[in-house]
Structure 1
């Protein structure tokens, strides 16, 4: 349910032309609220939570904020603006008004300066970052780790393997083994979310379809699957680093 809701928020973002940072913060607030409110959020009011988090993040990030009535309408009027205001108070109280959070896209912009990817690679890296925000099994990774994984995996997908020690040690601040194991955990989700036959998760795919996913071919999918199955032989990473990564995965 959380994954479907997060993808639906991408539809709302598109509808209101909201910033990527607004949506990223909304999903962050939603996850933190689910933990902080300790079971008081049910299936019946999960959509209300998501919409309210987007309403809050809009006020935090946007110059022009949609009216609260717009959020009611886009949700099909299944709740009222008073419901949103009440949920807003509950969220702010549960989070102690601690709303700020770093975004993976912010780190990605910084990494772009060092990696200098082409437009296609950069758009695919952005797609990977947003896959991580939708997919709950990837939500525990730090934004900096998500961004590093995204730019590395996107570069690899389109024919460039990043192996610079300076990049890993001074920019990503990750060892190769950690990034390798993290990238492998992303592969299935990156492929599945781009699949047009996946009808439950569609808004994120539509967002990036024209930008890059039209160029994400079966050849690229096969390359990612080979990376997942066979490891360093297809990754360009050192065998020593890969051994460490595989040891981590085996635990």
Structure 2
């Protein structure tokens, strides 16, 4: 059983992460911990919310110096469980995963590749938006973190840069940074494009709303997305 945010409508980790002002790294680590925990053993459907919040609690301890208090996390779930149950689940996670809590976080990789490529702020925010949207697509679980990060960056570059410039950059610089073929990256594009074109009609609107704010350059409502022929082509047919 693998976790996809769209399969847990009651468990809006994006909302909690945004509410507490936590860095993006905590969101991806939370989803990774949930997947790892469920891969290692069975989980009851009724325990998914508790598991998600406990994984977020653990991710905060790994990625940031301070983390929300257990009672505040419980309050966000309308006290669906007690702080004692939260701490008990935390111990279960650490025991089942044997304290193996680190992985190649795609956000770290995206930041690094964007810096090397000297990407503009608009491209970086759009790439981060595409990458976060991949969390809503269960099929994206099979892709490697670096593959997701690079695909998000390349897709963002295609939307903001002229096609000629994108090809030149791909030929001159990208081959030095990765070993993925264009077909391997193209396999990721449809999932990100589909989620982006859904916009406010997405099953989970938290990511769309998060990136519609001025602090995120209103990137999710940008004309480059809503009227993008490039994104439509990624789906294989025009979007009406």
Offset at 1:66?
A: 1.1
Asked whether 1:29 is paired with 2:29, we answer: no
Indicate if the aligned counterparts of 2:131 and 2:192 stay in contact, CA closer than 8 A. Answer: no
Distance in 2 between residues matched to 1:229 and 1:135, nearest whole Å: 18
Distance in 1 between residues matched to 2:63 and 2:209, nearest whole Å: 23
Distance in 1 between residues matched to 2:222 and 2:85, nearest whole Å: 43
Stretches of structure 2 that go unaligned for 5 or more consecutive residues are none
Indicate if the aligned counterparts of 2:197 and 2:226 stay in contact, CA closer than 8 A. Answer: no
Q: Residues 204-236 of structure 1, C-alpha deviation per residue, up to 9 Å, x if partnerless?
A: 11110122112144321x331124327xxxxxx
Indicate if the aligned counterparts of 1:145 and 1:172 stay in contact, CA closer than 8 A. Answer: no
1:104-123 superposed matches below 5 A: 104-123=106-125
Counterpart of 1:172 in structure 2 is 178
Asked whether 1:53 is paired with 2:55, we answer: yes
Q: TM-score, normalised by structure 1?
A: 0.82
Counterpart of 1:184 in structure 2 is 190
Distance in 1 between residues matched to 2:201 and 2:193, nearest whole Å: 17
1:1-16 superposed matches below 5 A: 2-4=4-6, 5=8, 8-16=12-20
Distance in 2 between residues matched to 1:51 and 1:8, nearest whole Å: 10
Counterpart of 1:249 in structure 2 is none
Q: Residues 171-202 of structure 1, C-alpha deviation per residue, up to 9 Å, x if partnerless?
A: 1321222212332343212322xx2133x311
1:219 to 221, 227, 235: 227
2:136 to 127, 134, 137: 134
Supply the RMSD in Å over aligned alpha carbons: 2.1
Distance in 2 between residues matched to 1:98 and 1:115, nearest whole Å: 32
Indicate if the aligned counterparts of 2:26 and 2:63 stay in contact, CA closer than 8 A. Answer: yes
Indicate if the aligned counterparts of 2:193 and 2:235 stay in contact, CA closer than 8 A. Answer: yes
Stretches of structure 1 that go unaligned for 5 or more consecutive residues are 231-251
More moved, 171-180 vs 93-102: 171-180
Indicate if the aligned counterparts of 2:134 and 2:191 stay in contact, CA closer than 8 A. Answer: no
Counterpart of 1:240 in structure 2 is none
Q: TM-score, normalised by structure 2?
A: 0.86
Distance in 2 between residues matched to 1:124 and 1:114, nearest whole Å: 17
Offset at 1:2?
A: 4.1
| Distance change (3 Å), C-alpha of 1:203 and 1:185 | closer
Indicate if the aligned counterparts of 1:168 and 1:175 stay in contact, CA closer than 8 A. Answer: no
Distance in 2 between residues matched to 1:131 and 1:170, nearest whole Å: 27
Distance in 2 between residues matched to 1:148 and 1:208, nearest whole Å: 20
Indicate if the aligned counterparts of 1:149 and 1:182 stay in contact, CA closer than 8 A. Answer: yes
